[in-house]
Amino acid sequence: MSDFGVDRSHPLVRWLAEQAVAADLFRATVDGAATREDATASLSMRALLAYARRDHRAPPSFAIEQAIRTDPATARRYRNLLAGMAIAFSPVALAAATDPVPSRVVGQWRLRVSQPEGLSPVLVLESLAPAPAPTAIEAIGPAGGPIRLPLPEPVRGSIQLPLDDRFAELAAFHRLIADPQTSIALLR
Amino acid sequence: LEGQVPWRIAARRSLGQEISAQEIAAQEWQANSMDQPVDEHTASDLCAIAEARQLTPAQCNMLARNVTGALRPNRDIYLWVLANVLSAVLLCGCRRRQKTFDPADCALEIALAPTPERRAALMRLCAGHEDVRVSREGIAVDLDSLQFEASFARIDDALAFADFFITGSDGALFASFKEAVLALTPVDGTAASPHEAVGILSRRIAQWRRERLPLGRQERLFSALVGFLLKRPAAQQRYGLLAFDDDDIVAFWRTCVEAGERLMFRTAVERFRDFGRLVKHLDALRSLTRPDDLDALAARMETEPDTDWNATTDDVAEVRLLEALKSLPDDPNALKGVERDLIATIAALMPFHKQRPGSVLRVLAFGPVQTGIANRLRRGGGGPAIDERVGCADAHSYDTVADRFYRLRDHLDSLRRIAVALRFGDKALVQGVDPDTLAETVQQGNAALKRLRRAGFDRSRAELAAIFSGIDGALSDFCTIICDFTAEIDRLGERRTLSDRFARDKPVFIETFTRAYLARQETRADV
């Protein structure tokens, strides 16, 4: 289409364009019966946000976690919210590192798993710089999750969490963070 | 396949996936149409916010403007309101509970709370602070580092925008909201300056707009429109460089079609309407002589801080009508679905129902033909073939369209009389009204009520009166715009009969539709 020599980025043109898009969106919002159905079919952002903000010791909701595992759109939303909520977030997990003892820096903390002979593996978080300590860690990825674990208080700048294989949740967490595609969030 | 981008199709082809002719037709429709539907995803985000916050249509309108940046002279004005309010709120929250204070939590509580609870929460949070006062009207802050006042109406709009940062676009903007909140967290008991937070939010939403909004397409259309008006022969500009009439709109639409764009005629009319509003608003129609003056217009728009560019009176009228239509009860069935649709159509084209009734008639008669073709292309089938449709055999004549509005006008008029009868039927005297006129109107209203055979009108008089007292204002507004439109149709008909006008217009539309939808297919067959 010829623009007859009128600049497309002219402020006047730009303003008209923004108004036109706003008007279209407004009309779609006011008589948006069709789009609303679509929105109620999956979990609302508010419900997901409330779930991401829940108390660390509150029991997980099976229905919500099922939705996060099965619906890619819900998973994407939950991850985005978690990334926003977290004091530190890493979209890739421990296994992405190449060290024999996998380790990863998430925000001001270095995460690694140490495996003492004959004992359960231990998740260790070391503080790299003075920072408020996280009180929970959450992992979510295509392999499973979300799994949220409360963390103990740091002792001399380091937090230790034994990943005891006898507890299904801890074992699942250990498996999850071994997958390079798992995201890890540190929460307060 | 709808809404799929061309590269995705190309990618599927390169992977050896088969793509049906139907898909290609739909794809071609998308690629050549300037009328792609709005981004469903964003629309559904806004719907969810409107529902959760119980926004009125006027508030939805402001939310859509905020999200798209359609605000002048300062498009970040509501981000400033938001940052100021959050800065003050975080300071109060921080003073209250020093140790356990979580700024993100506090900001989310305030931003996501339903309106009545939010006001109570703000009152509670800011109680006891001399320098942050919350009254029934709004918030007044007087700190060393932060001074502002904001009404609750503004705060509500700003927080609805914040809701979009939190819940919109699958949470992609949420991290920037959190970052802004951290930038607003008070340091050493002093409120943080909002500059940094506004910068963070403004940059992020600008990036989102570039990625997600079809601004480029609209810019293309408007620059073509303005350019078209400027490049007309001098004889057609005798009423002003940017003045236009019904035939200019058709001429512009045909230029677009000739250039290979399948522009909807309705869209062309709407865009001329938008442009007309802006020019009227700038009130510079007569003084314009040269294209350079466009820059002067734009400069005025960007620099005049006292002028509210954000809502014209027509715009507000449209929103108000839609609001009234939406809240009109289904029972009693005062207006049927088709009648509501007719009113909504006119509301969407305001103020052209008074200024350019000829163009409105053209949209109402030939618009559905083009919509039918577009839908068929989009679906890849269904209903009569395209070469049949471009003949406009199904187009409603202007007389048919006018008849519908005459009937609607008569119906609204009798509803208006019924409303008067229900309200004043038992009163002999109403101040400022001639008693004879009143008695006559009441009598007509009672007769109309007796004649009306629609669901819900068999209620007792008292019940009907109670319902009508809530909707008679809206009915009167509907009646006014439909009467305005029919009066304009009458005036058009006096100058030249509607059937004559229709007979003249039809070949033009047939030719242009043929060019847009058939000529293209032939050239493709040649290739």
The per-residue pLDDT string of chain B (527 residues; one tens digit each, 9 = 90 and over) reads 334 444 444 444 545 555 555 555 555 544 445 555 667 888 889 988 998 898 888 899 899 999 999 888 888 999 999 999 999 999 988 888 767 788 888 999 999 998 888 888 888 888 888 888 888 888 999 888 888 899 999 999 999 999 999 998 899 999 999 999 999 998 888 888 899 999 999 999 999 998 888 888 888 888 889 888 888 887 777 777 778 899 999 999 999 998 888 899 999 999 999 888 877 766 654 555 555 667 777 776 666 655 565 655 666 788 888 888 888 888 888 898 899 999 999 998 988 999 999 999 999 999 999 999 988 888 877 788 888 898 888 899 999 999 999 999 999 999 999 998 888 877 766 677 788 888 888 889 888 988 888 888 888 888 889 898 888 889 999 999 999 999 999 999 999 999 999 999 999 999 999 998 887 555 544 43
Considering only the beta carbons, identify the residue of B48, B222, B344 that sits closest to A16: B222
User: In angstroms, rounded to a whole number, what is the distance separating the alpha carbons of residues B76 and A146?
Assistant: 37
Considering only the beta carbons, identify the residue of A7, A26, A45 that sits closest to B171: A45
The per-residue pLDDT for B426 is 73
User: In angstroms, rounded to a whole number, what is the distance separating the alpha carbons of residues B269 and B357?
Assistant: 11
Residues in B closer than 8 angstroms to A53, CB to CB, are: 105, 108
User: In angstroms, rounded to a whole number, what is the distance separating the alpha carbons of residues B416 and B479?
Assistant: 8
Residues in A closer than 8 angstroms to B72, CB to CB, are: 15
Is residue B464 within 8 A of residue B361, CB to CB? The reply is: no
The per-residue pLDDT for B433 is 75
Q: Is B224 within 8 Å of A76 when comparing Cβ atoms?
A: no
**DSSP assignments along B448-512, one per residue:** HHHH---TTTTS-HHHHHHHHHHHHHHHHHHHHHHHHHHHHHHHHHHHS-HHHHHHHHHHHHHHH
The per-residue pLDDT for B110 is 92
The per-residue pLDDT for B240 is 73
Considering only the beta carbons, identify the residue of A17, A25, A30 that sits closest to B222: A17
Is residue A94 within 8 A of residue A102, CB to CB? The reply is: yes
Q: How near does any CA of chain A get to the CA of B102, in Å? A: 9
The per-residue pLDDT for B330 is 86
The per-residue pLDDT for B249 is 94
Residues 25-44 of A with CB under 8 A from B: 25-32, 35-36, 38-39, 44
pTM of the predicted protein model: 0.80
Considering only the beta carbons, identify the residue of B68, B167, B326 that sits closest to A30: B326
- Interface mutation vs chain B, best among A8, A10, A21, A81, most B CBs within 10 Å: A21
The per-residue pLDDT for B442 is 87
Average pLDDT across chain A, whole number: 82
As given in the structure block, the two tokens for residue A70 are 């099965």
The per-residue pLDDT for B6 is 44
Angle at B293 between CA B287 and CA B294, to 5 degrees: 120
**DSSP assignments along B341-363, one per residue:** HHHHHHHHTTTHHHH-HHHHHHH
The answer, yes or no, to whether residue A1 has pLDDT greater than 60, is no
Q: Is A7 within 8 Å of B231 when comparing Cβ atoms?
A: no
- Strand arrangement, sheet containing A109-114: A103-106, A109-114, A122-127, A158-162
User: In angstroms, rounded to a whole number, what is the distance separating the alpha carbons of residues B295 and B430?
Assistant: 55
The per-residue pLDDT for B74 is 84
Q: Is A22 within 8 Å of B67 when comparing Cβ atoms?
A: yes
CA nearest to B63 within chain A: A26
Residues in B closer than 8 angstroms to A30, CB to CB, are: 57, 60, 322, 326
User: In angstroms, rounded to a whole number, what is the distance separating the alpha carbons of residues B511 and B501?
Assistant: 16
Residues in A closer than 8 angstroms to B220, CB to CB, are: 1, 3, 8
Determine the straight-line distance between the first and last CA of chain A, rounded to whole angstroms. 55
The beta strands (E) that lie in B72-222 are given as 132-134, 138-142, 147-151
Q: Is B256 within 8 Å of A14 when comparing Cβ atoms?
A: no
> What whole-number percentage of chain A has pLDDT above 70?
86
SS3 of residue B76 by DSSP: coil
Residues in B closer than 8 angstroms to A20, CB to CB, are: 218, 221-222, 270-271, 274
**DSSP assignments along chain A, one per residue:** ---TT--TT-HHHHHHHHHHHHHHHHHHHHT-HHHHHHHHHSPPHHHHHHHHTS-TTSPPPHHHHHHHHH-HHHHHHHHHHHHHHSSEEESS-GGGS-SSS-EEEETTEEEEEE--TTS--EEEEEESSS-PPPSEEEEEETTEEEEEEE-PPPBTTEEEEE--TTSHHHHHHHHHHTSTT-EEEEE-
User: What is the phi-psi region of residue B3: left when phi exceeds 0, alpha when psi lies from -120 to 50, beta otherwise?
Assistant: left
- Interface mutation vs chain A, best among B49, B201, B219, most A CBs within 10 Å: B219
A128 at B interface, C-beta within 8 A: no
Q: How near does any CA of chain B get to the CA of A41, in Å? A: 12
Residues in B closer than 8 angstroms to A46, CB to CB, are: 52, 112, 167
- Interface mutation vs chain B, best among A45, A81, A183, most B CBs within 10 Å: A45
The per-residue pLDDT for B10 is 47
The residue among A113 and B31 whose pLDDT is bigger is A113
Residues in A closer than 8 angstroms to B69, CB to CB, are: 18
User: In angstroms, rounded to a whole number, what is the distance separating the alpha carbons of residues B75 and B62?
Assistant: 12
The per-residue pLDDT for B486 is 96
Considering only the beta carbons, identify the residue of B44, B278, B297 that sits closest to A39: B44
The per-residue pLDDT for B98 is 67
Q: Is B104 within 8 Å of A5 when comparing Cβ atoms?
A: no
Residues 75-94 of A with CB under 8 A from B: 76-81, 83-85
Helices then strands, counting H and E runs in chain B, come out as: 24, 3
User: In angstroms, rounded to a whole number, what is the distance separating the alpha carbons of residues B230 and B241?
Assistant: 6
Q: Is B38 within 8 Å of A17 when comparing Cβ atoms?
A: no
As given in the structure block, the two tokens for residue B132 are 């942050």
Residues in A closer than 8 angstroms to B57, CB to CB, are: 26, 30
Beta bridge partners of B123: none
Note the pLDDT tens digit of each residue in A146-174. 999 999 998 888 999 888 888 888 888 88
Considering only the beta carbons, identify the residue of A13, A28, A39 that sits closest to B223: A13
User: In angstroms, rounded to a whole number, what is the distance separating the alpha carbons of residues B488 and B304?
Assistant: 36
Residue of B247, B248, B254, B256 whose CA lies nearest to B229: B248
Note the pLDDT tens digit of each residue in A49-68. 999 998 888 888 888 988 88
The per-residue pLDDT for B313 is 62
Beta bridge partners of A105: A110
Residue of B313, B222, B310 whose CA lies nearest to B270: B222
Contacts of B493-500 with CB under 8 Å at 24 or more apart are B493/B402, B498/B361, B498/B397, B498/B398, B498/B399, B498/B402, B499/B397, B499/B398, B499/B399
Helix-helix angle B398-424:B337-348, to 10 degrees: 110
Considering only the beta carbons, identify the residue of A29, A49, A83 that sits closest to B50: A29
Q: Is A49 within 8 Å of B167 when comparing Cβ atoms?
A: yes
Angle at B220 between CA B217 and CA B225, to 5 degrees: 130
* Cα–chain center distance at B436: 43
Q: How near does any CA of chain B get to the CA of A36, in Å? A: 6
The per-residue pLDDT for B34 is 54
User: In angstroms, rounded to a whole number, what is the distance separating the alpha carbons of residues B156 and B161?
Assistant: 9
The beta strands (E) that lie in B18-144 are given as 132-134, 138-142
User: In angstroms, rounded to a whole number, what is the distance separating the alpha carbons of residues B349 and B366?
Assistant: 15
Q: What are φ and ψ of residue A33, in 5° steps?
A: -60, -40
User: In angstroms, rounded to a whole number, what is the distance separating the alpha carbons of residues A93 and A11?
Assistant: 46
Considering only the beta carbons, identify the residue of B39, B231, B344 that sits closest to A4: B231
A86-103 in b/e form (b: 16+ CB < 10 A) is bbbbbebbbbebeeeebb
